[in-house]
Amino acid sequence: MTYRLALLTATATLVLIVVGGLVTNTGAALAVPDWPNTFGYNMFLFPWSRMVGGVLYEHSHRLVAAVVGSLTLALAAALWRRGGPLRALGFAAALAVVAQGVLGGLRVVLVKDTLAIVHGGLAQAFFGLLVAIVLLASRAPAPAPATDPSLRALSVLAAALVYVQIVFGALLTHAGRLDLHLAGAALVFVLVPIVAARTRRAGDPVAGPVARALLAFLGVQLALGVGSYLARFSSIWIPGEQLTMLLLPVAHRVVGSLVLGASVILALRATAAGAREPAVRDTAFGGRLAIGPRLEGS
């Protein structure tokens, strides 16, 4: 049940990222000028008949966020009973979702683009945290002992780099920093495929399929990135015109979230495999290091 709740929360968060992308790329972020109310109404009692134009996107974003917040608090309560690392992760998720709600509200009240960048970055970190909870709450088989010591560090570095690249994407959206985003993309497309290829060779029953999916996500992401660049920074005619110009960056954002989620899974599996290696070695030698033959009476 905890695993299913975690999976549902992560899925709802991905939907929220989609709606948040629609809010940003339609310019609807300030369509509702007050918070936590909506034009003076209680958020949950705002008339559906008035949800038109930018208000539709912005208010829908608030409603989906409320669902994600409720699911996260329920998940945190369920994980609290399980104890251990999952309890700590559930508590961190609850803190993050509350902070995210406050940041979103302050973005409206204070009208600060800096808060929008932080809000977007925290949303992706929150999604990555939920993916970690889904993996740890599942009944996935334990990874085999690590045979490639460098893969652990590379996997963690790749996940961190993907997240930094997502932050660079937020800087591009809100501050026009194309240079950082292009530099980050180059690094991601060098390192992440290497990590995915090496993970596939490791034979992990969970990380292997995720690595294949990650490579597919990267291919889609590259196509979406090129399309988004042409739609925003060139005069080339794009089929679908305004609709395509809206959907390309939103899809780019969502696939970026999937790349982050897959990278988090690879990092966690590689870390778990590295942690198992000393224990397996100790077991194989009867709990002690066997450097030479054992002497009688020793």
pLDDT tens digits for range 139-192: 888 776 765 778 999 999 999 999 999 999 999 988 888 999 999 999 999 999
Within the chain, strands assigned E span none
Is residue 292's pLDDT more than 60? no
Average pLDDT over residues 198-223: 93
Q: Which residue has the higher pLDDT, 236 or 138?
A: 138
- Note the pLDDT of residue 275: 65
Residue 41 — φ and ψ, nearest 5°? -85, 150
Average pLDDT over residues 79-87: 91
Is residue 222's pLDDT more than 70? yes
The vertex-199 CA angle with 198 and 204, nearest 5°, equals 140
Average pLDDT over residues 49-70: 94
The vertex-177 CA angle with 174 and 178, nearest 5°, equals 115
Token output for 48: 């559906």
DSSP notation for 80-141 = HHH-HHHHHHHHHHHHHHHHHHHHHHHHHHH--HHHHHHHHHHHHHHHHHHHHHHHHHS-PP
Q: What is the mean pLDDT of the chain?
A: 88
- Note the pLDDT of residue 83: 84
Is residue 203's pLDDT more than 50? yes
Distance CA 156, CA 149 (A): 12
- Over the stretch 251-290, which tens digit does the pLDDT of each residue have? 999 999 999 999 999 999 998 876 655 544 444 434 433 3
- Note the pLDDT of residue 288: 38
Q: Which of 181, 53, 52 is nearest to 117 (CA)?
A: 181
Is residue 73's pLDDT more than 80? yes
- Note the pLDDT of residue 285: 37
Percent of residues, the chain, with pLDDT higher than 70 = 90
- Note the pLDDT of residue 289: 33
Per the CB < 8 A criterion, the answer to whether 119 and 168 are in contact is no
Is residue 130's pLDDT more than 50? yes
Q: Which residue has the higher pLDDT, 82 or 95?
A: 95
